[in-house]
Structure 1
Amino acid sequence: MATVQHQRITLIDSLRGFALFGIFLANISFFTTSLQTISFGAELWSGWYNEIFLLFRGIVIDGKFMLIFSFLFGFGMVLLQESSLAKGRKFTPIYVRRLIALLVFGIIHGIFIWYGDILTHYAILGFLLLIFQRCKPKTLLIWSLSLLLIVPVLLTGASLISSTDTNEFEPLSKADAHQMGVYFQERDAAIYGEGTYQQIIVQRLNDYISSFFNMLVFYPQILGMFLMGAYFCKRRILHEVRRITMMLIILGGSVGLALQLIMVLIEGLPSWGEAVALFVGAPMLTLAYIGIFAVVYQKRAWRNVLHIFSYPGKMAFTNYLLQSILCGLLFYSYGLGWYGTIEPIWQMLLVIIIFALQIVFSKIWLKRLPLGPFEYIWRLFTYWGNPVKKGRMVNNQLTK
């Protein structure tokens, strides 16, 4: 039993580290490209290798690994709840303090380090997750599926209703969108890449506010994945390979991948088609990733390989913040000022190098201390300064 429990924990740690790597691959473009330029979909780089990488990232990476983190956040809540009850502690006060600390970290991160912070959103939605803490697995599943489907259903309905309106809004042409994207890229490069720290703070605050409101449409999806993770944990689905895991791989992989291919490869999709591809395809493909990872992890040879992700996974909070700090030093004017100068293909290589260093750093750190530095601060606030016993690992830490 102890061996199975340990294997489950290392699986979650490894999956968390794997998700952290995928998120970094998706996030790095936001450190060197204007938020508005990305919104307009302007292509700034030529070269077949960049096109192939961006196509691959759009289909396989973008949005999926953040949803794995969302899944693990809900999974982690149940683990923490079970651990607290086993130790005779009241779960709700502990979790509330944990979320408040996460919210404070997120605001500081978003304003002073990087506007694309996700911690703030996780903290806010974490309070909603508390409402479901006593729900049975079946109830969690129903709410999860409902939340995951509500946005595509509403957008599809709105699209069908608006299609009868003869005064439809005329979207920007591709040329105009590209021109606007180039304009914002040049403006932001002058600020982030060459401006003063005060100018960067002002622009980052504006981008943080814009990014915050842009994320609101994804709140049902994120909360839905929270609840899916909680459901998986209560049902012990990842404890061993089951029929449901294989179904997730087959159904989620085939349908999810097909929808992502449609969204990325087919131009001129109606808005309802894009909504279905984005809000249904991404979660389905995400669940397939989780299932594949769990199945492969059962094989000893592969487990030895995937185990390297467990080191940054155990320090995911610290490594997530370090990625932002390092990218700020690389791309912003108070560092090397590489903003807007690194092609996507080299961004990928940079991510691989930095993440490899984080694996080494995390392994060395964890040999000496049981928690990462930011995890330790987070735990001090969560438990009102209770010290961490030497050699004790926190296996139920939440993901960001």
Structure 2
Amino acid sequence: MHGFLRDLGLLRDRRFTLLLAARTISVLGTAFAPVALAFGILDLPGADATTLSVVLTAEALPMVLFMLVGGVIADRLPRHRVMMVSELVNALAFAALGVMLLSGWTPLPVMAAAAAVSGLATAVMYPALTGIIPEVVPADRLQTGNALLGLGANTSRVLGAVLGGATVTLVGGGWALAASAVLFAIGGVLIAALRMTRAERPAGERHSVLGDLRDGWREFSSRQWIWVVVAQFSIMVMAIQAGHGVLGPLIAKESLGGAPAWSAFLAGEAVGTIAGVAVSLRVRPRRPILVGVLLCLPSALPYVLLGLAAPLWAIVAAAFVLGVCFDVFGVLWQTTMQREVPAESLSRVSSYDALGSLMFGPIGLMLAGPVAHWAGTRTALLACGALVVLSTLAALLSPGVRNLRAPASTAAAEPVSG
């Protein structure tokens, strides 16, 4: 109990509390958006799946294409200002989408442009968020800070999925998107209230954008543990996107009872991410990356059980385990990056991390349907589980992954052996 009270003592820090509140409210806005956007667009006269696909693709492409540029911007400028502007731009983009749906003036190119602006803002936001945490949280409290931020974000994702659906049902997608815009704006105002001084964000030597990207790549590629785990996740995310996005819902529809069964799966995963916070607050492994990578092995369980036609309760339990493991991995990963990577390069390195980890995700979505048709949905799910296991075992061959140790001063009284 004393340890938990000490962890919660970080909430007495004004700047951390503002960052936590801003992040929690912003993620709530993000969680509102998918349901509001999907059903708001599909309810338009003449709209179909292709209409929705165009808008979602317009949002996703800038998010990927400008992630590296976002890292450069966040390493050059005060990160709290970058985050503030990103939040306010997101608010404007979603306000525009909401007004279009409410007014009935919904030309597809204009909706796609507004979605693209949101994707661009997100591409700049993510690297700045990773970099600002060590500026706000003391070095010996980084894992606690990351865990508490994760608790706020995970809780918002669960609430947003529920409240977003209810808002769409009661008042329509346009008003739900307007609610998202308000939440983003509140997040931006809270970030502005951090009032960090330029002295707290020392500027490094300025180069061209390409020069900054080369320097960031040098920092990224010189650390074996980073690029090996990013390579692992490029395969894992491809498998998980296929399993979560296409194959899992197919099996749920075919043999588990449809949407309620898949909702139970997602709810189990969401509850697991919240429970994972309690674990990540307490666990201080001597070898954080080794423990984090080992925690990826159980994430194959849901796909294996779906492929083996296990009962729904077992599949939901496996989804809960997946949520716990991914949350603890995320906290260990972020904390280690923030400790090991120089502050002036952290946002660029995190942008390479995000780009590398996510780049094969769309391929998984594209291949899932044809592979399920050719080999069968259950076989395809077993293949997803196998890819998760094989990519994880391959990462464990890396000495950098196995041997990187946390500073002795950060070890807890109850460390995980490693």
* Bucket of the pairwise TM-score, normalised by the shorter protein: 0.3 to 0.5
Q: Which has the higher helix share?
A: 2
Relative contact order, CA 8 A, sep 6+: which one is greater?
A: 1
